[in-house]
Amino acid sequence: PAAGFNFDNAARNAAFEGLFEGGQTPKPLKTGTTIAGVVFKDGVVLGADTRATSSEVVADKMCAKIHYISPNIYCCGAGTAADTEKTTDLLSSNLTVFSLNSGRNPRVVMAVNILQDMLYRYHGQIGANLILGGVDCTGNHLYTVGPYGSVNKVPYLAMGSGDLAALGILEDRFKHDLELEKAKELVRDAIHAGIMSDLGSGNNIDICVITKQGVDYIRPFQESEYKETRKPKYKYRPGTTPVLTKKIVPLKLEVVEETQQRMDTA
């Protein structure tokens, strides 16, 4: 049996689609997202919403879409959730091996090239739209990689189902060499526009600021007002139930046999 992807069930799945009248095959978890990135004076700001949808149901309200690639490179992922997770994991492992081998911090172009080769090999079957942002010795970079392997290098970017709304805000207010606070606000507003105008995006906003000094991963940067107060555990405080009667029956035990076994700590 060959390693890698297994296509044994492809014929069976194709036959199944005809048999059941639609909606029976489980849909993959898409992120239906708004992700955005902006290059500012000292680095890169990446932002993302936190909703993951599975057709019409919100599957995850606190999904983490900003993935770690290397200490100086982070990646936002839109598209099929599992694909973005696994691809960014693989990319991160490869870059770590490289930096251990060569003793250098990886550059953003290297990450982009590895991703491009990997995604082109699968001809778009891996549904991962990624925004890579990072700071390396050559400067601050922001790239986007499409599922078919297309690469674009731009100073500001939005991807996902809410990208048109976010791009509107970015196109209007982007300037080169913004300050940190202005850049964070810009990304926050762009993601907010995506959340308001797109069904597939929502809940909280995560922001990740990458500079030469380090990374600031603010999760969540802004929480949505529609937070719920459901708790995961229901613990009742002692005394909630009134005690009516109490009866204590002591159990008499006699020691029959007592053995001592020493632990062998050799």
The catalytic residues are 33
The encoded tokens of residue 19 equal 């048999």
Interface with other proteins (CB under 8 A), residue from 122, 151, 182, 220: 122
| Shortest distance (Å) from residue 125 CB to other proteins | 6
User: Closer CB to other proteins, residue 34 or residue 94?
Assistant: 94
- Examine residue 152 and tell whether it contacts other proteins (CB under 8 A): no
User: Closer CB to other proteins, residue 15 or residue 57?
Assistant: 15
- Examine residue 113 and tell whether it contacts other proteins (CB under 8 A): no
Nearest to 62 by CA among 158, 206, 160, 189: 206
CA 49 vs CA 104, 198, 212, 232: distances in Å: 32, 11, 25, 23
Nearest to 155 by CA among 248, 59, 37: 37
- Examine residue 25 and tell whether it contacts other proteins (CB under 8 A): no
In whole angstroms, what is the distance from residue 72 CA to residue 139 CA? 11
The stretch among 2-10, 151-159, 209-217, 250-258 that binds other proteins (CB under 8 A) is 2-10
| Shortest distance (Å) from residue 92 CB to other proteins | 10
| Shortest distance (Å) from residue 113 CB to other proteins | 12
> Do 91 and 111 meet the contact criterion of CB atoms below 8 Å apart?
yes
CA 82 vs CA 119, 197, 231: distances in Å: 14, 25, 27
Interface with other proteins (CB under 8 A), residue from 123, 175, 212, 227: 123
Burial class (CB in 10 A: 0-12, 13-18, 19+), 180: middle
Interface with other proteins (CB under 8 A), residue from 70, 88, 94, 161: 94
- Examine residue 98 and tell whether it contacts other proteins (CB under 8 A): yes
The phi and psi torsions of 92 (rounded to 5 degrees) equal -65, -40
User: Closer CB to other proteins, residue 87 or residue 203?
Assistant: 87
- Examine residue 226 and tell whether it contacts other proteins (CB under 8 A): no
- Examine residue 103 and tell whether it contacts other proteins (CB under 8 A): no
User: Closer CB to other proteins, residue 3 or residue 137?
Assistant: 3
Peptide bond between residue 147 and the one before it cis (omega within 30 degrees of 0): no
**By CB under 8 A, how many residues form the interface with other proteins?**
25
- Examine residue 20 and tell whether it contacts other proteins (CB under 8 A): no
Peptide bond between residue 220 and the one before it cis (omega within 30 degrees of 0): yes
| Shortest distance (Å) from residue 237 CB to other proteins | 47
Nearest to 75 by CA among 111, 33, 125, 34: 111
> Do 39 and 174 meet the contact criterion of CB atoms below 8 Å apart?
no
The encoded tokens of residue 95 equal 């870059």
- Examine residue 240 and tell whether it contacts other proteins (CB under 8 A): no
The residues binding other proteins (CB under 8 A) are 1-8, 10-12, 14-15, 86, 90, 93-94, 97-98, 101, 118, 121-123, 125
